[in-house]
Amino acid sequence: MAQYSSTFAPPERILMGPGPSTVPARVLQAMSAPTLGHLDPAYLAIMDETRRLMRQVMATENELTMAISGTGSAGMEACVCNLVEPGDEMLVGVNGVFGGRMRDVAERYGAQVHAIEAPWGKSIDPAEVRRMLQQHPRTKIVGIVHAETSTGVWQPMDEIAAIVQEHGALLLVDCVTSLGGLPVATDEWKADAIYSGTQKCLSCPPGLAPVTFSARAAEVIRNRKTKVTSWYLDASMLMNYWGSDRVYHHTAPINMTYALREALLMVVEEGLEQRYARHMLNHRALRAGLESMHLNYLPDRSLPTLNAVAVPEGVDDAKVRGRLLNEFGIEIGAGLGPFKGKAWRIGLMGHGSTQRNVILILSALGSLLRDQGIEVSVDEALAAANQIFRAGESNS
């Protein structure tokens, strides 16, 4: 029989990849509180607080706001399966892995999907959204990824949201890598469904997916001609549990709800605008340092929360990432799809978006690049980053 240790001590890592991000002790402590029953009045009160906090961070008054029991992918599937009926037409912006995943999920639920394609690293062109809506006037839903985790692209939403509104279609937005780190203006965009995950800028362990549906989307769900294909993700049934009726649906992940509540509370206590400014300042400092080492950004408009840079010619991508992990305890992400072996994805999300982490990754990465024969100056990189930090302090 295999022998197991009586203690479990995973190595401590500095998580600077595409997620999960570092979880603060306060959230972990909340997660370790005594488990309650999923219909205990004390737990139901925590659910209510969590919903109020989600609305505040998602900038919405939507009644139909809840945390899906599952990761961000479950949030995506919940939004799609509740809004899509077989034969519905849907436009999906595909400029990376997660736009492609949204298309795949929609097709699985019977949608006729028209892809709005853009090269990896490029944003979706609003003019192309308008053209495709004119070409497909029966479109019911437009799906857009606000923060494309695979490429680091930050998608501008205002113009696209206005075009979708003008057409009368429903707007579905993937905010997995933006919620809590970038403005997610649900009501301002008149978005009809938004989903996210806990493990990115909210700095909570993976396991829940904040979602919100507009009143218009809720009406669409109520008036479906067919049952929602997924029993587990049926929003009308879930809302009977999250809403005032408290009808049992499934056993919620009690302790994860504690963690999400605490993580959202930390966001609100910091202040949304201050939090967005912190993420932007650390991104600008990191970018200044990386570019001083002649590392080129791949996206046309980079996420402050996830920095995708090209691996220099002749550098062994996997070797550098392995040494970062094994020698410095730093995790960064590899490239996916067409970017495989060609990109590093460096996350500055939530609790991990700090000046310390910016200085640390610049120092470690610079030394490893020198070991591979790339002429870089760590001192110049740190000076470039610190110049941004000093300017940020003087402007605050």
Question: What's residue 396's pLDDT?
Answer: 61
CATH code: domain of residue 344: 3.90.1150.10
Whole-angstrom CA distances from 378 to 17, 22, 116, 327 are 21, 25, 41, 17
Question: 308 - beta bridge partners?
Answer: 345
Q: Are residues 346 and 261 in the same domain?
A: no
- Domain termination residue (choose one: 246, 269, 292): 269
260 within a domain of the structure (yes/no): yes
* Same structural domain, 78 and 103: yes
Residue 290 within a domain: yes
Asked whether residue 262 falls in the same domain as residue 277, the answer is: no
Render pLDDT for 137-154 as a digit per residue (tens, 0 to 9): 999 999 999 999 999 999
How does DSSP assign 210-261, residue by residue? EEEE-HHHHHHHHT-SS--S-STT-HHHHHHHHSSS----S---HHHHHHHH
Question: Around Cβ 2, how many Cβ atoms within 10 Å?
Answer: 3
Using alpha carbons, list the distances in angstroms from residue 315 to 95, 318, 322. Answer: 26, 9, 13
What's the domain range around 183? 25-269
Structure tokens at 394: 């003087």
User: In whole angstroms, what is the distance from residue 275 CA to residue 273 CA?
Assistant: 5
Residue 3 lies in a domain: no
Contact between 194 and 177 under an 8 Å Cβ cutoff? The reply is: no
Distance CA 296, CA 290 (A): 8
Task: Judge if 155 and 286 occupy the same domain.
Answer: no
Q: Could you say which residues of the chain have pLDDT below 70?
A: 1, 394, 396
Could you tell me the CATH number of the domain that includes residue 238?
Answer: 3.40.640.10
Q: Are residues 238 and 285 in the same domain?
A: no
Angle at 326 between CA 322 and CA 332, to 5 degrees: 50
Chain segment 102-147, per-residue pLDDT in tens: 999 999 999 999 999 999 999 999 999 999 999 999 999 999 999 9
Q: What is the pLDDT of residue 394?
A: 66
pTM: 0.96
Residue-wise pLDDT for 35-85, tens only, equals 999 999 999 999 999 999 999 999 999 999 999 999 999 999 999 999 999
Helical packing angle, 254-270 and 272-292, nearest 10°: 80
What is the C-alpha to C-alpha distance for residues 27 and 21, in angstroms, rounded to an integer? 12
Q: Which of 269, 286, 321 is the last residue of a domain?
A: 269
Q: Which residue, 216, 248, 269, sits at the end of a domain?
A: 269
* 261 and 279 belong to one structural domain: no
Q: What is the mean pLDDT of the chain?
A: 96
Q: Is residue 198 part of a domain?
A: yes
Is 149 part of any domain? yes
pLDDT of residue 2: 76
Are 360 and 278 in a shared domain? yes
Amino acid identity, residue 256?
A: M
Give me the pLDDT at residue 9, please.
86
Please tell me the predicted confidence (pLDDT) of residue 351.
98
57 is a domain residue: yes
Specify if 19 maps to a domain. no
Tally of domains in the chain: 2
